[in-house]
Structure 1
Amino acid sequence: MADDRNDAPASGRLRAPGLPLLLAEARGIFEFNASLWLSPLLLRAHRGDGHPVLTLPGFLAGDLSMAPMRRYLTELGYDAYAWRMGRNTGGLARMRDALHDRLAEIHGKTGRKVSIVGWSLGGVYARDLALRVPEMVRYVVTLGSPFANDVRATNATRLYEALSGETVDGDPEMLKAISGDLPVPTSSIYSRTDGIVNWRTCLVRPSATAENIEVHLASHVGLGVNPAALWAVADRLAQGEGQFARFDRSGPFAIAYAPPENAQS
């Protein structure tokens, strides 16, 4: 069960997840093992149409962290790409040009719009790319990405600022844009038991092309390898270009998802 202390206090500020949830992040290894064990079931997901998918790692992670995601998407018929920028030490403003160039490289090579799957900070990058060059982006899926509400409510804020040289809330206009509506379809996958970021920082405003998908009991470090999250990513990317329908929670991992009306409660 999620720690209710993550909710906004009287001051209106959100809190980072408490120590119990942070310590429970170690369960991420079990989520990875579960995805391996359930791989025959995961491969029953809808097949892809071969379009390119760029995977962006979280803070302090690199391409290795997204390798299981890329392997899975490749098996389903997608053209999956790594970001090839080493370890993600942060810096949204600093990384913008390099991210644009990588996206443009893939778009130019394939001649197709690129879906972007971003884990944690990688999802913040993905949303920024979709805002800046929507003509290159087909779909955005974020995994435990803190882009909305009080973005300081994470257990990685101080380290991010120390390593990147940027403050997470230093550009209010940029943050407002990233937390707002995107010009492309998007799905935010998150968990209330995230031990790194406050789950409320992951919520999009639901619309005709935007939705939240809550995965029960997932960790932050395991969200990119959690079998229910992987299934949801594959389901979302299987939609035709320019199409969007709400995620159907009646599939084989139905028990792992919260009803959609719970997203804002």
Structure 2
Amino acid sequence: MHITNIPPSSAMLFAFEPVRSMIDFFAGNALSLELLPKGDGHSVIVFPGLGASGSATAVLRSRLQQLDYEVHDWEHGVNQLPGGDLEAWITQLATQLRRLAERDGRTVTLVGWSLGGLYARALLQRYPAYIRQIITLGTPYAELRHAGAAPASHHGIDDDAVAAVPAFSIYSKSDGLVAWQGCVPSALHNHHAIAVDDVSHMGLVHHPEVLSIIAGLLARCGGDAVHARAVR
């Protein structure tokens, strides 16, 4: 599996990424959840970045859980760019999404950090009826594809259904791993870019401003029921 068109960040930002990420971590823990809107209990799945597991997003999941959402790890351990068939991998990721949506009869929010955000967008392209919104953190608009193969086509998918699902790309101009320019959507309907200041790439899952934005987006997007033809 290849990821194409991911721009690099600057060498200086990369060098200071570990220190800045620790600052973001402590700042996030200091934020009082009483300042954030409460949720409606709908399910949220959080996808980690490359080389990370659910432990890296545990604090974010815990804080969203405290805001009254049902928050889930992605259930696949360390994110290591799986080999093999891309479509089979995305179908495997969709098992959890479909299970939660069909159990509750409600759409699910996907939060994807870095590479995890590419998975969220891939699921949106294939399973829009199950998804309420996607929120990506430091995720470039790149392609997941097989080596030597063209991007997968999505036959039978309703483009209007995909376009109806809002997608939010949260990015930082001081990201030490991914250049922020690649995280800004270009002429994509219902995709919105949200900039945060002075946040490291690793800190995007901890920083108080990012947590506040995520909480606001979760509370703002309405609770549409799963599309009837998606439930079998």
* TM-score, normalised with respect to structure 1: 0.71
CA distance in 2, matches of 1:200, 1:35: 25
User: Runs ≥4 in structure 1, deviation > 4 angstroms?
Assistant: none
What whole-Å deviation, never above 9, does each CA across 1:215-259 have from its counterpart, x for those lacking one? 11111111111111111011011114279xxxxxxxxxxxxxxxx
**2:78 is aligned with what amino acid?**
R
In structure 2, the CA distance between the partners of 1:241 and 1:14, relative to structure 1 (3 Å rule), is closer
Is 1:89 the counterpart of 2:80? The answer is yes
1:69 equivalent in structure 2 = 60
Q: 1:46-125 maps to which residues of 2 (within 5 A)? A: 46-91=37-82, 93=86, 95-125=89-119
What whole-Å deviation, never above 9, does each CA across 1:171-209 have from its counterpart, x for those lacking one? 3466xxxxxx74401110001111111111111246773
Q: 1:4-83 maps to which residues of 2 (within 5 A)? A: 15-26=7-18, 27-38=20-31, 40=32, 42-83=33-74
**2:63 is aligned with what amino acid?**
Y
In structure 2, the CA distance between the partners of 1:47 and 1:84, relative to structure 1 (3 Å rule), is same
CA distance in 1, matches of 2:199, 2:110: 21
CA distance in 1, matches of 2:150, 2:183: 18
* Of 239, 246, 251, the match for 2:220: 239
What whole-Å deviation, never above 9, does each CA across 1:137-186 have from its counterpart, x for those lacking one? 001000001124xx7xxxxxxxxx9xxx955x953466xxxxxx744011
Which runs of no fewer than 5 residues in structure 2 stay unpaired? Answer: 154-161, 225-232
2:199 equivalent in structure 1 = 218
2:228 equivalent in structure 1 = none
Deviation at 1:107, TM superposition (A): 1.3
Relative CO higher for 1 or 2, CA cutoff 8 Å, sep ≥ 6? 2
SS in 2 for 1:190: strand
Preserved CA contact (<8 Å) 2:106 2:223? no
SS in 2 for 1:139: strand
CA distance in 1, matches of 2:63, 2:212: 10
SS in 2 for 1:89: coil
Q: 1:199-214 maps to which residues of 2 (within 5 A)? A: 199-205=180-186, 209-214=190-195
CA distance in 2, matches of 1:229, 1:166: 32
Preserved CA contact (<8 Å) 1:189 1:213? yes
SS in 2 for 1:223: helix
CA distance in 2, matches of 1:108, 1:60: 30
SS in 1 for 2:35: coil
* Of 119, 122, 125, the match for 1:128: 122
In structure 2, the CA distance between the partners of 1:113 and 1:229, relative to structure 1 (3 Å rule), is same
CA distance in 2, matches of 1:70, 1:14: 26
CA distance in 2, matches of 1:138, 1:197: 26
Is 1:171 the counterpart of 2:150? The answer is yes
CA distance in 2, matches of 1:144, 1:80: 20
1:3 equivalent in structure 2 = none
RMSD of equivalent CA atoms: 2.6
1:196 equivalent in structure 2 = 177
**1:32 is aligned with what amino acid?**
F
